[in-house]
Chain A
Amino acid sequence: EVQLVESGGGLVKPGGSLRLSCAASGFTFSDYTMNWVRQAPGKGLEWVSSISRTSADIYYADSVKGRFTISRDNSKNSLYLQMNSLRVEDTAVFYCATGHGSYHYFNFWGQGSLVTVSS
């Protein structure tokens, strides 16, 4: 059974940093593109970032470019999102999600991790 478990969310002040992790199991992690998608409270879904199987190709939404860094460790079956210079508008539930092959639709999702940016 595919499982994605996010951790690392919490309350942080504007300008602060946070690192999200996503632990994967039940599938061959290194075979899948991985992604972060977020959802602000009461709002819709927003794609944040994607990383290819070997980390050779990385993409970011303009809203987080230069502030967020996606990475993965295939030996640990883990995905990460380093978030710096956080803003109030970054407050959201962050989901990690698998891609499918090289395609960027989101096949399996974690339960999400809430990040709250507030003073």
Chain B
Amino acid sequence: EIVLTQSPDTLSLSPGERATLSCRASKSDTGYYLAWYQQKTGQAPRLLIYATSSRATGIPDRFTGRASGTDFTLTITRLEPEDFAVYYCQQYATSPYTFGQGTKLEI
């Protein structure tokens, strides 16, 4: 099983700032098969990024994903008020399709 560890657990920033969220995979088998989701309170998750760096339909270009080996990063430039939420990474390289524990982005 591929374990994903996200850091930090909580990130406190202000609108207009830059956020950097990390996700470390326990195995290199992950390849580029990594996705990022945003979840707001009381809502279903929303796909942001797939294949490490491809933005899903309708996702603004202030969301960027990249990888360095088994370390994956989601960067949000110029935070908007609606960006404050919980973010999850997920690997889909191999079953079980595991999620990270989440990073809460708060004001």
Binding site for B on A (CB under 8 A): 35, 37, 44-47, 50, 59, 61-62, 95, 100, 103-112
Contact = CB atoms under 8 A, between A and B. Distances in A.
A112 B45 CA distance: 10
Interface string B41-53: 0001111001000
Contacts of A105: 33, 35, 47, 50, 90, 92
A59 B96 CA distance: 8
Given A103-B92, A107-B47, A107-B56, A47 B97 contact: yes
Interface residues of B, number: 21
Select the residue from B33, B88, B99 with max chain A CB neighbours within 10 A.
B99
A62 B44 contact: no
A106 B96 contact: no
Nearest to A107: B47
Given A45-B90, A104-B97, A110-B44, 4 more contacts: A45-B39, A62-B96, A107-B50, A109-B46
A44 B99 contact: yes
Contacts of B37: 45, 106
